[in-house]
Amino acid sequence: MSFEIKITKDYDGIKPKSFLKKKLDLSFFKIPRLIKDKRITINGKKIKEDTILKDGDILKVWPNDIKLREVKKEFREKKDLGLEIIYENNDFIIFNKLSGVIVQGAQDNSKSLSLHLAYYKDKIDDKSDFEYFHVHRLDKDTSGALVVAKNRVALRELNKIFRTREIKKKYLALVVGKPKEKEGMIEVFMKRNPEGSREKMSIVSENDSLSKKSISLYKVISEYEKEGNIFSLIEVEIKTGITHQIRVHMKSLGCPIVGDKMYGNSYINQEYNEVLDRQFLHAKSISFTFDNNLYNFEADLTEDLKNFLEYISD
């Protein structure tokens, strides 16, 4: 048995994975596998990496044990997660996301961004039928600048901007040790590891058919020493948007991110766990041109990261 989902204007211009993670009652980790196995198709064809949804497209889903999420708007759960608004206009909002907030999938989770967006839409008395929608993703334990569209026209345009990489995104990462060079470029090929692997992504040969090129520019901002341990605060500008890119890139320099439970230094993580219980990675700034206007937004470090810098500065 199978069922079909017809794409409406609300989701015109976004990627199938983002849509499916929002609509299917399923762990979002399983969706890429279903797409690869052609158990989810678009207009009768395989969904490719560069596929973009258009109004009228038909997604067909074959698994027998998967259902659509049933979210009745009149009873939709709402929750204030305390997210700071950096900027807002009629088309989009820039939030300073907190660590622990889940951007996509897991809508029934008490820390899901969708709960806060429903709360905020109600708070400002926006009675439109469009559900505010994130334009890009930040990992659960990464904080910082996050763009959310407030209408379908803005969503289509912002998705196009992000898809064509007409943006500049910079992050701050505190790493263990210090790189051999104070600044440089990291250009490696990455791919997703098999399900069940300790690390989700790894660096591979460019000849690997499943690999994708990843590029980051980095610069050491400052250095710290605490109890014999050396740390470096690094600004990273990403030129590509591969999953866990910065975390893998920093590890490739021999300087894993402090608090990173997947790619990090377990000894350092354990030693400082009581002071910082998540990875020190923050989306510092984001710049893009929208409707012929250039925007540049800065997201202040969250309190937990500020406190940790003060702690290792003593």
- For the annotated catalytic residues, the residue numbers are 139
201-204 and 183-192 strand pairing: antiparallel
DSSP label at 15?
A: -
d(CA 55, CA 13): 8
Structure tokens given for 197: 């692997």
d(CA 57, CA 59): 7
Torsion of CA 314, 256, 248, 134, to 10 degrees: -30
Are residues 165 and 187 in contact, defined by beta-carbon separation less than 8 angstroms?
Answer: no
Residue 39's alpha-carbon distances to 2, 24, 46, 58, 104, in angstroms, are 9, 13, 9, 13, 21
Are residues 15 and 7 in contact, defined by beta-carbon separation less than 8 angstroms?
Answer: no
201-204 and 133-134 strand pairing: unpaired
